[in-house]
Structure 1
Amino acid sequence: MEKLVKQAMWVGITALMITVLNIIDQRWIANAQLSPGFYSNSCPNMESVIQQVIQDKLNTVGPIAASETIRLFFHDCFVEGCDASVLIVSTNNNVAERDATPNLSLGGTGFDTVVEAKTRLEAQCPGVVSCADILAVAARDYVTAAGGPTWIVEKGRKDGRVSMASHAVADLPNATSDVNQLTANFAAKRLTQLDMIILSGAHTLGFSHCDQFSSRLYTFSSQNATDPSLNPDFAAGLKTSCPQSGGDLTVVVPFDAKSPFTFDNAYYQNLVTGMGLLTSDEILFTDDRTMDTVLDFAQNSNNFFSDFAIAMVKLGRVGVKDASNGEIRKDCTLIN
């Protein structure tokens, strides 16, 4: 019962914020044709079909599905906008986003979820539901299934026709980025520094490969081989999992060692104790401009949850395609 009450609260908060954001950005939203009830008449069972696919995946793959899908959504929206361009496969004439170096570690469950949901929806509502909207709804539902908040997903995105690996390399934040670089990355997508801190909290779920943080363990600087901001015990454990040679692409380590499969505020608590895995994680606590927000979220999970729900609505509006520059793909992996 408590979980249902909390979910109702998150829905109420995001409904109010969608109204406010629409007023602020009314012309942009009108052009994108985004609305919560976009498929009410054309495909009324859209969300329930996706939810069934998610339940099937959770039953077969397990909780790792949540982290893989939320990461897929983020990587999609940051390159060409939220248009499912990350799902397009490479051809002889083009190396697509999914084959860019930053995307090689994306887990397969997110891809499989969207493709399976698309197959089922095509059987019910052929040519109606975009792959981009499927991914947006799936990201929300996986977060909720992992214990996180829920929110109202605006729909009406079209699928993009462009997918280039070089764009992914240029647009995605780097694991070694500092606050200035991260803030600039997010600003380029019409997202604020606060949005950046909030959305970084998605690292409460999931895993990273050793190559993304090994420099913090062995070659940090000429004065310190190991990053002094790392908790010593945490650093020692990471060195055991990730030796100086080997294991970079085969070993994975949880972002949040306390509860890697639960969406909670432990990510921020870890930053306070020097247990942020990536440089781009720990810098949020060691930089004075972002420290107070990290402390707030570490102490108040409700604040994080409500802000995360709002930030996800904003993220879902990045670079949205309409009929003039997008399409409804028949196959999520191929341009029509």
Structure 2
Amino acid sequence: MKSVSFVSLLFLGLIAGVHGGYSYPPMPLVKFYTKECPEARGIVQSTVVAAIKKNVGSGAALWNLHYHDCFVRGCDGSILLDSSNYGPAEKESGVPDSPKEIAYDIIDEIKYAVETICPRTVSCADILTLAARDAIAELGGPEWKVCSGRLDGFISYANESKFYMPGPSADYQTLVQKFALKGLTEMDMVVLSGAHSIGKVKCSVIESSLYNSSGPCGVDPTLDPTYAMELKAQCPIGSSNLVFLTPPDTSVNGSSPVPYPGHRRLLATRSAGNVPSKRYYVQVSGKNRKKGKDAKSNQNLKVRNSKGTLRSDRNLMSTKSGKALVYREAGFSEKDLASAADKENQPFFHDLVKSMEKLSTLKDPSSPGGEVRCNCRSINL
């Protein structure tokens, strides 16, 4: 059901103006709900685990939803609001990322369970932030510190999503600028692009790169031609199919990458194409190591066209600084590898933790206050 907002809230949204001054100061406490609702974090975690066990794609959907929420008005749960009589909400923006619908139902389930135990205590914004972290940890990725104490915002406009969210065809300069508006660095941008290591995208988003570009047979000249043929087989013209953002690695009997050392392993539910890993950067770079005794030499890296599924992914290779950061996250330079026992996904996981802690604490000081919603889809009346 569509929610109805007060006229005063619409007015507050109008006077908020263009958002700026995003910052990421520490949230109040890591254990914010220890006294008020000690069961909250356990409920979030168990619900997320059950959802991923049922549908492994839930993890990517939750991560994508959290990313979208924080990029518009900060991490305030505005992406969860339904459209009102005053216009379409953020969720109606049509931003063609990975499918997110399943994530809304998971957040609703968590909110209902938490409200039953601790009414009007745990915000939807905190629930979404915790759920995204727990999802990535469950899929074999790293855990990052999640502080709590966010309030839920009152305002959600689709046009703001279109303005602030970088699109799937964004060039490198635009990507850097969009992230800079949030106080995030060029490195943060490249690291957070690693979210495309999991999940799927609609064929309609990449159709122009496969059929309507300037390269041979209509293929984007920056896209690896062999990979383009694979995508065309999955995405005939006009298809509504979904394809992996980073294709599964079937080179080793379809096995998954080694999980982050010491991370919380709850279930053996990881599967190819749904495991956070530095493989995304290897694909985007168009490079592959030669096997054998010279595997560690950068001189033995063969350059190929990019296998980034989205044009924005391939555009990470369009500048010297972008290439350097992609190579770093791919682990091609031995000096950049972390000293952890498991170097399989380093330094990507180490950098991802730092960037996600920044992203998850973004705030917009121009937004008009907040509340703890009873229903994540509508403001309290």
Structure 1: tracts of 5 or more residues without a match: 1-24
* Amino acid in structure 2 at the alignment position of 1:271: V
Q: For residues 211-234 of structure 1, give each alpha carbon's deviation from its aligned partner in whole angstroms, at most 9, with x where no partner exists.
A: 222221222238883222211110
Q: Is the 8 A contact 1:83 1:321 kept in 2?
A: no
Give secondary structure in 1 for the equivalent of 2:309: coil
- Distance in 2 between residues matched to 1:317 and 1:151, nearest whole Å: 12
* 1:235 paired to 2:228: yes
Q: Is the 8 A contact 1:64 1:261 kept in 2?
A: yes
Q: Is the 8 A contact 2:172 2:318 kept in 1?
A: no
Relative distance call for 1:166 and 1:324 in structure 2 (3 A) is closer
Residues 52-201 of structure 1 correspond to what in structure 2 (within 5 A)?
A: 52-60=46-54, 62-102=55-95, 106-201=99-194
Relative distance call for 1:331 and 1:257 in structure 2 (3 A) is same
* 1:269 paired to 2:282: yes
Q: Is the 8 A contact 1:39 1:46 kept in 2?
A: yes
2:378 maps to 334
- Counting helix residues as a fraction of each chain, which structure ranks higher? 1
Relative distance call for 1:265 and 1:326 in structure 2 (3 A) is same
Q: Is the 8 A contact 1:83 1:159 kept in 2?
A: yes
Give secondary structure in 1 for the equivalent of 2:152: coil
* 1:293 paired to 2:325: yes
Relative distance call for 1:103 and 1:216 in structure 2 (3 A) is closer
Structure 2: tracts of 5 or more residues without a match: 1-20, 249-271, 287-305, 332-336, 338-344
Q: Is the 8 A contact 2:204 2:238 kept in 1?
A: no
2:315 maps to 283
Match of 1:257 among 247, 263, 271: 247
Q: For residues 227-270 of structure 1, give each alpha carbon's deviation from its aligned partner in whole angstroms, at most 9, with x where no partner exists.
A: 22211110111112222x311xx211101112311111110010
2:253 maps to none
Equivalent pairs, count: 305
- Distance in 1 between residues matched to 2:368 and 2:200, nearest whole Å: 38
* Amino acid in structure 2 at the alignment position of 1:326: G
- Distance in 2 between residues matched to 1:84 and 1:192, nearest whole Å: 23
CA offset at residue 109 of structure 1? Answer: 2.3
Relative distance call for 1:331 and 1:103 in structure 2 (3 A) is farther
Q: CA RMSD in A?
A: 2.1
Q: For residues 89-134 of structure 1, give each alpha carbon's deviation from its aligned partner in whole angstroms, at most 9, with x where no partner exists.
A: 1133321111112168642221112111111111111111000000
Match of 1:29 among 25, 28, 31: 25
Q: Is the 8 A contact 1:158 1:323 kept in 2?
A: no
Relative distance call for 1:64 and 1:321 in structure 2 (3 A) is farther
- Distance in 1 between residues matched to 2:24 and 2:81, nearest whole Å: 26
Q: Is the 8 A contact 2:206 2:309 kept in 1?
A: yes
CA offset at residue 78 of structure 1? Answer: 0.9
CA offset at residue 43 of structure 1? Answer: 1.2
- Distance in 2 between residues matched to 1:294 and 1:104, nearest whole Å: 21
Give secondary structure in 1 for the equivalent of 2:374: coil
- Distance in 2 between residues matched to 1:105 and 1:298, nearest whole Å: 22
Q: Is the 8 A contact 2:153 2:367 kept in 1?
A: no
Give secondary structure in 2 for the equivalent of 1:128: coil
Q: Is the 8 A contact 2:191 2:348 kept in 1?
A: yes
- Distance in 1 between residues matched to 2:98 and 2:83, nearest whole Å: 16
- Distance in 1 between residues matched to 2:118 and 2:366, nearest whole Å: 19
- Distance in 2 between residues matched to 1:331 and 1:109, nearest whole Å: 17
* Amino acid in structure 1 at the alignment position of 2:117: Q
Larger radius of gyration: 2
Q: Is the 8 A contact 1:98 1:104 kept in 2?
A: no
Match of 2:202 among 201, 204, 209: 209
Say which is worse superposed, 171-180 or 33-42, in terms of deviation: 33-42
Relative distance call for 1:232 and 1:28 in structure 2 (3 A) is closer
- Distance in 2 between residues matched to 1:219 and 1:183, nearest whole Å: 26
1:314 maps to 358
Relative distance call for 1:71 and 1:163 in structure 2 (3 A) is same
Give secondary structure in 2 for the equivalent of 1:95: coil
